[in-house]
Structure 1
Amino acid sequence: MIEKLYGKNINFLIGSGASFGMIPTLSSNYVDLIYGDLTIEEVLEKNKTDEDLQNIVYLYYYHEILKKGYLEISEESTELKEKYEEVFKNYQKLLENLINLLQRESYQKEKRINIFTTNYDLFFEKVADSLVGKYEFYFNDGSSGNITKKLSMKNYHKKIYHTGIFDNFDREIPIINLFKLHGSVSWKYVNDKNNKPHEIKVEYFETEGNYPKNLIKEVSNEEIENAKETIKNNEDLKNKIKEVKNELFEKFALIFPEKNKFENTLYQEFYYQNLRQLSYELEKQNSILIVFGFSFADEHIAEIVKRACNNPTLNIYIFCYSLDTKNEILNNLKLEEFPNNIKTILPEDNENIDFKIFLKKLFEVNSKIESDNNE
């Protein structure tokens, strides 16, 4: 399908499914007789008044999602290291193919691709670093500065050129813009009173020694009830777990999985700017949005994409992990059927579309695209 991308304004929307294998997705195994299967976001929403449950889930969230997002793998963790290397190679192939695509673009087309992701982890950043020196490209995460980096939306609006020694030619350098819609484990808030309230530093958030051991392996009724029993008569442990939630909100520059996620942060302006940028890109002429590992459970993003479908020159390609995923996405988008400019790419031969198959379908010339509403 790569032939469909040339000459277009190319955008990607990458969700937690891309890092699956290393980082769990935000859906959970929580089952409730009243509410049915719930995501972590829904668990927190349905149990607002249960403080112990809330704090236990946030402890789980730190250990199983955020901490793993640093991608710091010890040499002793052989199995984890193998999973990391597999996911890393998939991200690496994605960026390499995108750089090659941009290098082959005509001089009339801006050599820029936008990647929007809801993932907190550092796969894109680490992969981009691994490609420095191998390819001539600029990876733009929206930051400026050298020792202390600060994020600003204005940093995305750049063009970079390579000139000859005698300045006798200009050649545009491929740029890959990374927009982290929900923040990053490498971001922390700037508390300097002289800074604007939404400024964020790109810097590792130190967490050593501050957090108790995780009490649950999955967000389920049984696991949570057992954890509650463990902390029932242990006030010291209960208070430490409570501190996890407070510290996460205070220091991590993240949008957390809550229904009122944007109301709970004083720094919502920066995130709304990111969402507006996604909207602007999809409203441009001859735009393409490629969706992978994302189910549109985020209502804000779902609404932006639905509204963008009014752009007659926009084409959206959604790669569905399984046959059931298509119906899940329809439901999350609150649609009875997809509009003509949304194409769903479905699995073949009872297989799932994992990262490797996604790359194959995307970058092979004239690759077969199975879709009920294909063009």
Structure 2
Amino acid sequence: MNKKDELVKKLRKLAITKQLNFLIGSGASYPAIPLMGMIQAENNEKRNTLLAETVKRVSEDLLGQALEYRASICITLNNYTNFISKIIDILNLSNSRQTPRTANLFTTNYDLFIEKASDNVLQNYRFIFNDGASGYFDRKLDGSNYNRTVSYKGLNDNYTNEIPSLTLIKPHGSMNWEKVGDSVLIRNRVIDSPVIVKPTGYEEQDTFYNNHFHEMLRVFQLELDKPQSVLFVIGFSFQDKHIAKMIKRAIQNPELMVYAFGFIDRDRETYLENLGLSAERSNFTILTPGNFHDEYKTKNTVDEGEDWYSFDLSNLTSILSGISMEDLKNGKS
């Protein structure tokens, strides 16, 4: 077995035997939502505004009753749906007596792709979707609602079986979050003035937004401090300085393994620069297309020039799709 095969096997084993965490950035919602650098504007403030308008428009389309989505939305939604389906498969395979059947999804995106994809997957899978809210008509967001487990009890009380749980934590807010008094309510529609923290803009927000931002990041930090955990980073380049600092702090925990996936090969240098690191660490690894066989990366063909390879959410899903009971053998949790 060569190094590339060993790497894929190692990633699969970590996913099924460790406490599973994902950090999902804007790259995962492409092509439905353009990356910040793709938006043409005279300054960052205007660029942030245009991005928020695009996210709102796409989110409205997702929750609408249109017979069909635009091609870019279909591609992105399909990527998220396949990804979440595979996470639930992994949690069903894991040993709940050793590792909680819970996966944490931390995302700096405020679009509604994860919510819509999870709703799609719930049609065919039994799992708990925990977005941190409680209530019925008025669903209030509260950090204390995380870290819950739910079990299915046999009709005769002769067994209990932990139900897989997907926890969604959105430190930058969401297009369906509404500020009501001192609370954030999660709605089933896109809000005209949603609770969102635009990139590089949270410093200027009022106390209400700062408190929310730090509460969500506190939950993130607590999860990364837990023993025997793994964090997979996808579509995130560590440009957010607050989260970059938290990752640097988190890797001081020797029991946490962090794998950051780069879209292109030169992202390795970009990630290290954004993190202020001179090199990778024993428990912090950057993986780019060059680390994988062709079946786990996307070939991009151009009319002129050389073909190039990329790695995105669909490629990570392909790796996770190969997990089986064999990957539990000799695994520790």
Q: Aligning the two structures, in what range does the TM-score lie when normalised by the shorter sequence?
A: 0.7 to 0.9
Q: Does 1:163 align with 2:173?
A: no
Structure-2 residue corresponding to 1:89? 78
Q: Does 1:124 align with 2:135?
A: no
Code of the residue aligned with 2:213 in structure 1: it is: Y
Contact in 2 for aligned 1:70/1:185 (Cα 8 Å): no
Q: Following the alignment from structure 2 to structure 1, what is the Cα–Cα distance between the partners of residues 206 and 19?
A: 32
Partner SS state of residue 185, structure 1? coil
Partner SS state of residue 87, structure 1? helix
Structure-1 residue corresponding to 2:185? 201
Deviations 1:90-127 (A, max 9, x none): 11111111111111111312111101000111111111
Inter-CA distance 285–59: structure 2 relative to 1 (3 Å threshold): closer
Which of 247, 250, 256 in structure 2 is aligned with 1:305?
Answer: 247
Q: Following the alignment from structure 2 to structure 1, what is the Cα–Cα distance between the partners of residues 91 and 319?
A: 18
Worse overlay, 21-30 or 112-121: 21-30
Question: Structure 2 matches for 1:244-323, cutoff 5 A?
Answer: 251-259=193-201, 261-267=202-208, 268-323=210-265
Contact in 2 for aligned 1:14/1:293 (Cα 8 Å): yes
Inter-CA distance 18–57: structure 2 relative to 1 (3 Å threshold): closer
Contact in 2 for aligned 1:69/1:185 (Cα 8 Å): yes
Q: Following the alignment from structure 2 to structure 1, what is the Cα–Cα distance between the partners of residues 199 and 48?
A: 10
Q: Following the alignment from structure 1 to structure 2, what is the Cα–Cα distance between the partners of residues 295 and 302?
A: 9
Report the CA distance between 1:161 and its aligned residue: 0.9
Report the CA distance between 1:57 and its aligned residue: 4.2
Report the CA distance between 1:262 and its aligned residue: 3.8
Code of the residue aligned with 1:359 in structure 2: it is: T
Inter-CA distance 81–312: structure 2 relative to 1 (3 Å threshold): same
Question: Structure 2 matches for 1:1-375, cutoff 5 A?
Answer: 1-28=11-38, 43-44=43-44, 54=45, 56-57=46-47, 59-72=49-62, 75=66, 81-108=70-97, 109-191=99-181, 197=182, 199-203=183-187, 204-207=189-192, 251-259=193-201, 261-267=202-208, 268-348=210-290, 350-365=308-323
Partner SS state of residue 323, structure 1? coil
Q: Following the alignment from structure 2 to structure 1, what is the Cα–Cα distance between the partners of residues 96 and 52?
A: 46
Partner SS state of residue 258, structure 2? strand
Report the CA distance between 1:71 and its aligned residue: 3.5
Report the CA distance between 1:58 and its aligned residue: 5.4
Inter-CA distance 58–123: structure 2 relative to 1 (3 Å threshold): closer
Structure-2 residue corresponding to 1:229? none
Report the CA distance between 1:318 and its aligned residue: 0.8
Report the CA distance between 1:163 and its aligned residue: 1.0
User: Any stretches of 5+ residues in structure 1 without a counterpart?
Assistant: 33-42, 45-53, 192-196, 208-250, 367-375
Identity across the alignment (%): 30
User: Any stretches of 5+ residues in structure 2 without a counterpart?
Assistant: 1-10, 295-307, 325-333
Code of the residue aligned with 2:109 in structure 1: it is: N
Report the CA distance between 1:31 and its aligned residue: 8.8
Q: Following the alignment from structure 2 to structure 1, what is the Cα–Cα distance between the partners of residues 47 and 139?
A: 31
Q: Following the alignment from structure 1 to structure 2, what is the Cα–Cα distance between the partners of residues 123 and 275?
A: 21
Worse overlay, 343-352 or 152-161: 343-352
Q: Following the alignment from structure 2 to structure 1, what is the Cα–Cα distance between the partners of residues 13 and 213?
A: 33
Inter-CA distance 282–183: structure 2 relative to 1 (3 Å threshold): same
Question: Aligned pair count?
Answer: 294
How high is the TM-score relative to the length of structure 1? 0.73
Report the CA distance between 1:205 and its aligned residue: 4.3
Q: Following the alignment from structure 2 to structure 1, what is the Cα–Cα distance between the partners of residues 164 and 65?
A: 34
Report the CA distance between 1:206 and its aligned residue: 4.4
Q: Following the alignment from structure 1 to structure 2, what is the Cα–Cα distance between the partners of residues 103 and 317?
A: 23
Q: Following the alignment from structure 2 to structure 1, what is the Cα–Cα distance between the partners of residues 75 and 288?
A: 23
Structure-1 residue corresponding to 2:327? none
Contact in 1 for aligned 2:177/2:191 (Cα 8 Å): no
Inter-CA distance 124–283: structure 2 relative to 1 (3 Å threshold): same
**What is the root-mean-square deviation of aligned Cα atoms in Å?**
2.2
Structure-1 residue corresponding to 2:331? none
Contact in 1 for aligned 2:27/2:236 (Cα 8 Å): yes
Partner SS state of residue 119, structure 2? helix
Partner SS state of residue 300, structure 1? helix
Report the CA distance between 1:363 and its aligned residue: 3.5
Partner SS state of residue 317, structure 1? strand
Q: Following the alignment from structure 1 to structure 2, what is the Cα–Cα distance between the partners of residues 96 and 357?
A: 14
| Larger Rg over CA atoms | 1
Contact in 1 for aligned 2:105/2:166 (Cα 8 Å): yes
Code of the residue aligned with 2:227 in structure 1: it is: Q
